[in-house]
């Protein structure tokens, strides 16, 4: 069933990574920006799993385990930060968070 080479999965992962990066760049809503970052991390997970399969090395899958942990930790702190910003400013628009510049 799985007859495509591992490299296709890797390319798909890179494509997803890029879509995520694009989301970070263009969305105004900070929560969506953050979701896009989660998408990037997941894309890397796909790359890890594909490599793991190709190399017959379980370590790639173990990496995914760690990346998930990191994603969870980032989610906790990141959402808390967004909440704190919202409390002070009543906004989650990236364009309106620009007190600090120049």
Name which of residues 37 to 96 contact another protein (CB under 8 A): 37-89, 91-96
Strand partners, 93: 29
Interface of this chain with another protein, residues 4 to 23, rule: CB under 8 A: 4-12, 14-23
Interface with another protein: number of residues (CB under 8 A): 100
State in angstroms the smallest separation of the CB of 82 from another protein: 7
- Least spacing, CB of residue 90 vs another protein, in Å: 9
**Least Å from the CB of residue 46 to another protein:** 6
Contact 92, 85 (CB under 8 A): yes
With b for 16 or more beta-carbon neighbours within 10 A and e for fewer, the 12-51 pattern comes to ebeebbeebeebbeebeebeebbbbbebbbbbbbbbbbbb
Strand segments (E) across 10-92: none
């Amino acid at each position: 069933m799985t007859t495509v080479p591992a490299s296709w999965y890797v390319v798909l992962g890179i494509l997803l990574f890029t879509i995520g990066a694009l989301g970070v760049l263009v969305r105004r809503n900070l929560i969506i920006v953050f979701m896009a970052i989660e998408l990037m991390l997941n894309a890397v997970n796909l790359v890890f799993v594909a490599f793991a399969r190709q190399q017959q090395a379980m370590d790639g899958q173990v990496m995914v385990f760690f990346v998930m942990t990191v994603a969870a930790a980032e989610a906790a702190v990141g959402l808390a930060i967004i909440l704190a910003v919202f409390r002070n400013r009543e906004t989650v628009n990236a364009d309106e968070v620009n007190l600090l510049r120049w």
